[in-house]
Chain A
Amino acid sequence: MTNTIADVEEADVILVTGSNTTENHPVISSFVKRAASLKDTKLILVDPRRIKLAEHADMWLRPNLGTDVAWINGLLHVILKEGLYDRDFVENRTQGFEALQEMIEKFTPDYVSEITGIPSRQIIEAARLYAGAENGAILYCMGITQHISGTDNVKSLANLAMVSGNLGRPGTGVNPLRGQNNVQGACDMGGLPNVFTGYQKVTDADTVGKMESAWNTTGLSDKAGLPVTEMIPRAHSGEIKALYVIGENPLVSDPDLNHAEESFSHLDFLVVQDIFMTETAQKADVVLPTTCFAERDGTFTNTERRVQRVRKAVHPPGAAREDWRIIAEISRRMGYPMDYKNASEIFDELASVTPSYAGLSYARIEREGLHWPCPKPEHPGTPILHAQAFPIGRGNLHAIDYIPPAEQVNDEYPLYLTTGRVLYQYHTGSMTRRTEGLNERAPESFVEISPADAEKYGLQEGDKIRIASRRGEIMARMTISDKAVDGTVFIPFHYAEAAANRLTNSALDPVSKIPEYKVCAVKLSRAA
């Protein structure tokens, strides 16, 4: 997030899109609901499903799936045409305005309405509301990123914020909500194929040199590695032979699961390190037992870039050990000693090679976490990014055209499928499904369908249904719900036995390599 969570309550207008906040980030949703329901803040919700937040929204726009660039460009069109943009900000802080102007020319409210299904009146009103706000904040989540156009969607939201001058102050910003506890940290720590910690490029000779001396080694590769979505297919083709999977369960969470399973079976050697015998661990040659958050010291970095302490409260079961100890042991046995007494020592090392973490230490975050960038021990941390300038100088406005989702419905596969989470379960369910109460509240997978579609296909509440896409099929119970939009069904992806990802499309965003989980075409039939 460019801004903090608490900051949301400072906004005059909040635009939430692609985030079922009350189920996926419940505590952030409270900030949004308080602002919208108990203060004068206006809430614009852009989401096809009738999610809970719709009850609190002042305006609710329901775009067709995968048409985000179109409605955002529509808003931009109105903002520019009506002169609602922030001239100072555009002139002093951005570049690329002319190209953007040219691109959005054709995105008239009527044209946008045709693509998105949002009435043109609403596009005009939403544009006026957001651009007219003293402080407008944008919150988004995977509903924006999990598309082949995910990067375009994110850039488009940034266009919207920059053109309206809604950046760098309390109550503004472009704020991605991270799905998992330490997504931010895993990225910050260089758990990515192209960067070391702090987004320092592996292709940059100086950085490589710096890391080599810090790590007392030579010959670090300066060639970017493969993202997970390319690693798995290369396991299929035999180029990747050994995989070390730490704390992930790709055999439920990956797109096009049938293909992913085959890929895993082609590996020569698979090591899985986890707290449970997950679907992925079952395929491993060696399984290493590790600790959960309550059994170890360390840090997580939350969605607002706040680095926070994790503390050991109980002993791990049996021989289970912290992940870092296991990694260090393997490393030592491969001839590269890693001698750390505790997590705090590792933190000090990582801070010393990561400019944005350089000023942080366990002592400083003992009571309350701090936001990176925090370059010096006396630096207070940075709750709000881009207050004065962008790291690259001027912010790039991107001229982006709309492209439709990779897979379209047709006669054979007449319905769109979108996937997501439910409140009571988490990710692949390996933790939540082992907590009885949560299972009682959300025991099994379901297909959510609109009342009109249910009637059209002659389906009843509770029917056992077969859902098939071009890649696979699963069975699940049907729930008729007015949350759903006509023409689109929703399935949560937590449940291995009815894994929604047997259906999803692995078509990737060309830049972020994120698969298009949020749109694919399916057909339904009643199970015999």
Chain B
Amino acid sequence: MTENQVTINGNPFPVQPDDTILDVARRNSIDIPTLCYLKGATPTGACRICVVEVENARNLLPACSTPAQAGMVIHTESPAVVTSRKMSIELLLASGNHNCAVRGSDETGSFTDFQLGVQAQDHSDRLCPAWGDCTLQDLAYRYQVSGEAFPATEVKYPLESVNPFIVRDFSRCILCGRCVQACNEVQVNNAINFGYRGKNSKIVAAGDRPLKDSDCVFCGECVQACPTGALMEKDARYRWRPWEAEKIRTTCSYCGVGCQLDLHVKDNTVFKVTGAEEIAPNYGSLCVKGRFGYKFINSPERLSSPMIKENGEFRKADWNEALDLVARRFAENRDSHGPDSMGVLTSARIANEDNYLAQKFTRAVLGTNNIDHCARL
């Protein structure tokens, strides 16, 4: 064993300065499950899902917050680790309305009672809105546990949906703290934090006010970070399930940051937008416009037909008629008043390909350099 190596599941791996056990594992494609860990933020060690066994250590250690020390001999799926993870997951599943299928059987009748209770609180007869897009659910499948191992805890705080974008469903909050870190350490909006103590813990905006009356700027970083159904996009809740939607990677069309995002599309409609993690320039972050400002796409006010004005009124026209008219008038104008009597305003909104053709057209066809855009305005 050389000086700066650790052994994970029997294989040696080099350690770099400041590495945690999780860093070494991820770099070498060893899968240690995490729940509360948020890349780029200070690890809190809150959920203990990532625990691993380190030989000669007294307890299991959270991989996300334990520095990797040379010589460590680490086991990531040992019986002790698996037992501990199962218990952590069971406890989380029992705390709140986790009424997805991982809730388990109905041997005692508790399943039906539980579902009915949750559905009444949800005002919906459907399973959890995060079904299929929930890290807790994934973990429950992976470790084959269900929620009845512990008595269900009572739900203390009502759902909050008094803003246009985000639904806060405290009944599904597992207090992992990822949202708090996303808000304070990634976006640095400092809008939410842990409030109250012990069993009454709750994620609150200052003064336990609704988000709309807080410092929240609706960037949605917290929604994207939330591993459960506790924070969801209002528009997507119950209307969008991941397996029904197609995900298309593209670039935000608002400001010049050019955030990379995924449009989640179903039935030719965008239902939800998420930031593309792991790549520049935004590494998963978005702002309110990029994340929630997509409704204009399907707006009924979109222009859907060429229009020609006659006697001060617009009428619909087909493409042939409209294009012929434009081409004829442009040509007449160019030929009778000269090319420099015409101008083209291209746009800082449209793509490079459009702008390229617009200037090619202006220069090669209209014959003028009168082309500009309103970028500086």
Contacts and interface: CB of A to CB of B under 8 A. Distances in A.
Interface of A: 4-6, 22, 24-28, 30, 33-34, 37-38, 56, 145-146, 177-194, 196-197, 202, 211, 215, 217, 219-221, 223-228, 231, 235, 239-248, 250, 253-255, 268-269, 271, 274-277, 281, 284-290, 292-296, 298-304, 306-324, 326-331, 333-336, 338, 343, 346-347, 349-350, 367-369, 423-424, 426, 430-432, 434-438, 440-441, 512-515, 517
A240 B356 contact: no
B373 A225 contact: no
Contacts of B248: 311-313
Given A186-B348, A285-B308, A240 B376 contact: no
Contacts of A438: 164, 288-289, 292-293
A180 B354 contact: no
B254 interface: yes
A145 B351 CA distance: 24
B341 to A, nearest CB: 5
Contacts of B251: 181, 293, 300, 302, 308-310
A275 B331 CA distance: 25
A56 B189 CA distance: 11
A265 B351 CA distance: 29
Contact of B376 (A145, A217, A295): A145
A186 to B, nearest CB: 5
A285 B288 contact: no
B372 A191 contact: yes
Contacts of B373: 183, 186-187, 191-192, 228, 248
A183 B257 CA distance: 11
Contacts of B337: 241
B358 interface: yes
A321 B306 CA distance: 10
A313 B188 contact: no
Contacts of A436: 164, 295
A304 to B, nearest CB: 6
B338 to A, nearest CB: 10
Contact of A25 (B257, B279, B328): B257
Contacts of A334: 327, 330-331, 365
A87 B79 CA distance: 65
A323 B350 contact: yes
B369 A223 contact: yes
Contacts of A296: 351
Interface centre among B187, B217, B323, B375 (most CB of A within 10 A): B375
Given A183-B348, A228-B345, A318 B304 contact: yes
B257 A245 contact: no
A244 B343 contact: yes
B352 A434 contact: no
B281 A306 contact: yes
Nearest to A323: B354
Contact of A303 (B256, B294, B302, B333): B256
A336 B327 CA distance: 11
B342 interface: yes
B80 interface: no
A203 to B, nearest CB: 9
A181 B348 contact: yes
B255 interface: yes
Interface in B239-262: 246, 248-260
Nearest to B187: A30
Interface string B284-313: 011111101111111101111111110000
B339 interface: yes
Contacts of B329: 242, 269, 285
Contact of B296 (A26, A224, A431): A431
Q: A-B pairs with the 10 shortest C-beta distances?
A: A318-B304, A302-B258, A437-B164, A225-B369, A178-B256, A298-B351, A247-B347, A26-B287, A333-B327, A33-B188
